[in-house]
Structure 1
Amino acid sequence: MHGPASPGWLLVALCAATGAYCLLRMRSHVEEQRRTAGGEALMGFGMAAMAVPAAAFTPPSWAWLLYVTVFGAAALHALWAARAGGHHVHHLVGASAMVYMSVAMADSPGHHGGSGVPPVTVALLLYFTGYVLLSGVRLVPVTAGGGVGVGWGDRPELSRACRLSMGIAMVAMLLTL
């Protein structure tokens, strides 16, 4: 992503840690945790890879096509799953945002656009800012029921904290476009 290296590395660490925790959630005994964890792990690791500062590594031009392909497939999967409603609509928006950012990065590697902020970027910033604020409010009252006998993959407050972290990272990445 464009921007200073230190915040970029912090985003890489945050997103990679979130992706790793989501992989742990895939081993959960709770079906809802397993169902969403794979897509969230993909988003976490994809965001980590995309957030690597350009000064440290400039991906080859074909990498952006790979991002578009992977996250385009994730968006189609989320669109199919969204028929049932729920959190899949958010996954659809997130995967679509990753496709959008990949295309934007492929079009202008290493420099910012010239004339204002595109409306799609503004819409995504508004969506993810609202998501972050709502997720933060929802995180406050969650309790783990004492935590006795609850595995790391089954802790609702941790999965909500991961979603909040990825939302914050998405806002930060969109701001750097």
Structure 2
Amino acid sequence: MHGPPLIGWGLVALCAAAGIYCLSRTRAGAAGERRAAWGDALMGLGMAAMAVPTGALDARPWGTAAFAAVFGAVGLHALAPARARAEASRAHDGHQLHHAVGAFAMVYMALAMAHSPTAGHGGVHHLGAGHEPAGTPLLTGVLLVYFAVYVVRAVARIVPAPAMVPGEPPWPGPERAYGSGLTRACRLSMGIGMLAMLLTM
């Protein structure tokens, strides 16, 4: 990432923690939930790797190619019609579409920063005074709007309006609420991380 190192390392920690938690969820739940957890884990860990501040690692041309290849494959896999038909519910289908958008956003960021006219040694772009932003402003703006809306909706899901139904408890069981709440918090964290990474372009 090409912003302040402190923000970069904070994003690394946030995304890595989210990815590791999602990885721990890949053995629980229904098949659709496990697939979603795998996708979340891959996105979180991939974002952690991309958020490492510029200069902390020796940049090589194969780094950009590897990110583009891996996340391009992830995005295509998430969009595959057979995968969509195999999902158990529309909620899982929607999350697979979100995975696809996130994966292609990662490909876009990697390629845009590597091919920026102001890229430094090894194809790494440094954002700062006197440097032009990487990527296409219109596409970057569209992605920023998408992830901003996603974050707002994720916050609304984490803090729902209480609905009292006669004869039913106001909240789910503690184990279900704990797992669901943490999963949503991890997805919210990754959405915020994606916003922060796009803003550094």
**Aligned residue number for residue 36 of structure 1:** 36
**Aligned residue number for residue 71 of structure 1:** 71
Aligned 1:161-172 pairs, distance under 5 A = 161-172=185-196
**Aligned residue number for residue 133 of structure 1:** 152
State how far apart, in whole Å, the 2-side matches of 1:99 and 1:27 are: 28
Aligned 1:150-161 pairs, distance under 5 A = 150=176, 155-161=179-185
Higher RCO structure, 1 or 2 (CA under 8 Å, sep 6+):
1
**Larger % of helix: which?**
1
Match of 2:132, SS state, is coil
Gaps in structure 2 of 5+ consecutive residues = 88-92, 162-169
Matching residue's letter, 2:157? R
Superposition deviation, residue 55 in structure 1: 2.9
Question: Is residue 198 of structure 2 the alignment partner of residue 174 of structure 1?
Answer: yes
Amino-acid identity (%): 52
Superposition deviation, residue 82 in structure 1: 4.3
Aligned 1:6-155 pairs, distance under 5 A = 6-80=6-80, 81-82=83-84, 85-107=93-115, 108=119, 109-112=124-127, 114=132, 118-141=137-160, 145-148=172-175, 150=176, 155=179
Superposition deviation, residue 88 in structure 1: 1.1
Distance 1:93 1:82, change over 3 A: farther
Residue deviations 1:73-100 (CA, integer Å, cap 9, x gap): 0000111134663211111100010010
Gaps in structure 1 of 5+ consecutive residues = none
Residue 72 of structure 2 contacts residue 107 of structure 2 at CA under 8 Å; is this kept in 1?
A: yes
Superposition deviation, residue 115 in structure 1: 6.7
Residue deviations 1:34-59 (CA, integer Å, cap 9, x gap): 12011111100100000000132242
Residue 125 of structure 1 contacts residue 174 of structure 1 at CA under 8 Å; is this kept in 2?
A: yes
Residue 19 of structure 2 contacts residue 41 of structure 2 at CA under 8 Å; is this kept in 1?
A: yes
Match of 2:94, SS state, is coil
Match of 2:54, SS state, is coil
Q: CA RMSD in A?
A: 2.2
TM-score of the superposed pair, with normalisation by structure 1: 0.89
Residue 139 of structure 1 contacts residue 160 of structure 1 at CA under 8 Å; is this kept in 2?
A: yes
Match of 2:173, SS state, is helix
TM-score of the superposed pair, with normalisation by structure 2: 0.79
- Larger displacement relative to structure 2 (3-12 or 102-111): 102-111
- How many residue pairs get aligned? The number is 174
Distance 1:174 1:9, change over 3 A: same
